[in-house]
Amino acid sequence: MELKQIDKYRWELSKTGSMRVPGIVYATDEMIKGDQQNEPLKQVANVATLPGIIKASLAMPDMHWGYGFPIGGVAAFDGETGIISPGGVGYDINCGVRLATTSLVEKEVRPKQEDLINALYQNIPSGIGSTGSIKLSISEEKKVLTHGSRWAVQQGFGIDSDLDHTEDSGCMENADPDVVSNRALERGKKQLGTLGSGNHFLEVGVVEEVYDSKSAQVFGLFEGQVTLIVHSGSRGFGYQVCDDFLAYMTKHVQKLGFELPDRQLACAMIQSKEGIRYYNAMACAANYAWANRQILMHISSEVFSKVFDIGPKDLELNLVYDVCHNIAKKEKHVIDGKKRLVCVHRKGATRAFPPGHASLCDAYRPVGQPILIPGDMGTASFILVGTEKAMEETFGSTCHGAGRVLSRKAAKKKSKGRSIHRELEDKGILVRWSGRSTLAEEMPDAYKDISEVVAVVHGAGISKKVARLRPIGVVKG
């Protein structure tokens, strides 16, 4: 693999072998070098071999070794002649993040910090296979799959304006519950309104620094303000949809007449019956995830109200935005001067639409789409805004988080003899968790420095820094 530096933040992986396009990786000199990058770079090259890929196989600075696509991978395929791949979306379909602001400031929250984090932990079901208080009949579950966040709002979990502040208004079109397996439906019945495990979390934070006051004002952010981040996805429903279609497409792809470098890249032509079925099933999972995060935010809002003894009007828990990290989207992009319909796969990457984009609500159209980049639980999270350069270079995409540097096993080894929650407490961060190895696996040392990742996308111009948040309380699954 030959890697050439294009400029300070971009590297080109030359087109070799069966690659149809080159690879382009956003990274610093230090990030790109080292043995850890060999495997994800191979995956960038593998994605470049898929039919219909346009311009380049892209990777963001939080790139790491995934399955099929690298995590942090972005690839757009022609809307007529390209493919769609469950491996380009991942198991946790529409894993994503939402950020809400409150009227509270840090000094009001500190005295009740422990009560707040304990109450969030007690009221938000979390952990492996966790089930919530919402039990759906299959017919009601199908409404969730079809309507996404709107279903949640109609049930009283939020308000109409939340939908304006959610990517795709919290509902992907063409969701068809009839193409989803009974297994997926069964798994989805009990898990709505649950956080899950692993890297999923709720984080109470404080706006520590504002870089772009105009955008911050539009997003309703000010320094010292207390915020809430929810990171979760489509739970077992989405995992099952991915698994069902991977199993199916590994067989289907054998009939298509091209060799796959990795079975995990199994795919179908986007306009084929099989491609449409996957897209419509994936949309169901995306909608389930949006409804899930909408419910989790609403339960959190009730917890805040109770702990601080204030009503919703005074709490002003407002959704800034909700973005997805793992998705394939049909979008229009300008390619060689012409507007074309493409299917953009973002696997561990975030949409980053610029000012003026028609997909944005009226309030955000003047400044661009809010982008939410959570870091590890001990450092910081960032709010960015989309740019025109992202439309030109990355199909309107940017990074999604810090990206792991240590495997879970290596993180556990490194944490031996240390008390991670005490270390975090010393930094003013209270943590509550359910999985017995969650804290060790998710310790701050396991991730890249979020500031460095954000510096790359900011420096490269594919998104711009708006504000930095500092965590003060975290609930992990």
Partner 1 sequence: MSYELIDHTADFGLHVKGNDANSLFVNAAHAMFDQITDTLVLKGIKTEHVRAKGDDWPDLMINWLRELLYLWTGKSLLVKVVVIDSLSKYQLSSTVKVDCFDPNHHVIKDEIKGVTYHQVLVRGGKGGWKSKIFFDV
List residues bridging with 26 in a β-sheet.
10
Q: Which stretch binds partner 1 (CB under 8 A): 112-120, 246-254, 301-309, 384-392?
A: 246-254
Minimum CB distance to partner 1, residue 35 (Å): 11
Minimum CB distance to partner 1, residue 75 (Å): 18
Nearer to partner 1, 222 or 248 (CB): 248
**DSSP of 16-58, one letter per residue?**
-TT-SS-EEEE--HHHH-SGGGHHHHHHHHHHTTSTTB-S-EE
148 DSSP 8-state letter: T
Minimum CB distance to partner 1, residue 63 (Å): 10
Helix (H) or strand (E) holding 215: helix 213-219
Helix (H) or strand (E) holding 63: strand 57-64
414 binds partner 1 (CB under 8 A): no
Nearer to partner 1, 92 or 376 (CB): 92
User: Closest by alpha carbon to 398, among 99, 50, 88, 63?
Assistant: 63
What is the C-alpha separation between 158 and 155, in angstroms, rounded? 8
Nearer to partner 1, 18 or 437 (CB): 437
Nearer to partner 1, 200 or 470 (CB): 200
Helix (H) or strand (E) holding 331: strand 326-335
What's the token pair of residue 117?
């984090």
What is the C-alpha separation between 241 and 351, in angstroms, rounded? 22
Cβ 431 vs Cβ 116: under 8 Å: no
Please pick, from the candidates 1, 361, 410, 455, the single residue that binds partner 1 as defined by CB under 8 A: 410
Q: Which stretch binds partner 1 (CB under 8 A): 10-18, 63-71, 212-220, 268-276?
A: 63-71
Provide the b/e sequence for 99-119 (b: ≥16 CB within 10 Å).
bbbbbbebeebeebbeebbbb
What is the C-alpha separation between 218 and 320, in angstroms, rounded? 9
Minimum CB distance to partner 1, residue 299 (Å): 21
Pairing of strands 463-476, 430-433: parallel
Nearer to partner 1, 74 or 246 (CB): 246
Q: Which stretch binds partner 1 (CB under 8 A): 181-189, 277-285, 367-375, 394-402?
A: 181-189
Nearer to partner 1, 5 or 122 (CB): 122
Dmax (CA) for the chain in angstroms is 64
Please pick, from the candidates 22, 52, 66, 79, the single residue that binds partner 1 as defined by CB under 8 A: 66
Does 400 qualify as catalytic in the annotation?
yes
User: Closest by alpha carbon to 326, among 41, 56, 73?
Assistant: 73
Binding mask 27-56 for partner 1 (x = CB under 8 A): ---------x--------------------
Q: Which residue has the tokens 């199908």?
A: 142
Binding mask 252-281 for partner 1 (x = CB under 8 A): --x-------xxx-x---------------
Nearer to partner 1, 384 or 406 (CB): 406
What is the C-alpha separation between 466 and 185, in angstroms, rounded? 40
Q: End-to-end CA distance of the chain, in Å?
A: 39
Please pick, from the candidates 198, 354, 386, 444, the single residue that binds partner 1 as defined by CB under 8 A: 198
188 binds partner 1 (CB under 8 A): no
Three-state DSSP state, 103: strand
375 binds partner 1 (CB under 8 A): no
User: What does R_g of the chain's alpha carbons equal in angstroms?
Assistant: 21
Cβ 61 vs Cβ 31: under 8 Å: yes
Q: How many residues bind partner 1 (CB under 8 A)?
A: 43
3-state helix, strand, coil in the chain (%, to 5): 40, 25, 35
350 binds partner 1 (CB under 8 A): no
Minimum CB distance to partner 1, residue 404 (Å): 5
Minimum CB distance to partner 1, residue 57 (Å): 17
Minimum CB distance to partner 1, residue 91 (Å): 4
Q: Which of 64, 345, 400, 458 is an active site residue?
A: 400
187 binds partner 1 (CB under 8 A): yes
Pairing of strands 57-64, 23-26: parallel
Q: Which stretch binds partner 1 (CB under 8 A): 49-57, 59-67, 132-140, 350-358?
A: 59-67
Nearer to partner 1, 236 or 375 (CB): 236
What is the C-alpha separation between 375 and 430, in angstroms, rounded? 16
Q: What are phi and psi of 136, to 5 degrees?
A: -100, 140
Binding mask 80-119 for partner 1 (x = CB under 8 A): ----------xxx---------------------------
Please pick, from the candidates 247, 334, 341, 363, the single residue that binds partner 1 as defined by CB under 8 A: 247
Minimum CB distance to partner 1, residue 131 (Å): 10
Give catalytic residue positions: 400
Q: Give the residues lining the site for partner 1 (CB under 8 A).
A: 36, 64-68, 71, 90-92, 127-129, 183, 186-187, 196-198, 236, 239-240, 242-243, 246-247, 250-251, 254, 262-264, 266, 404-410, 435-437
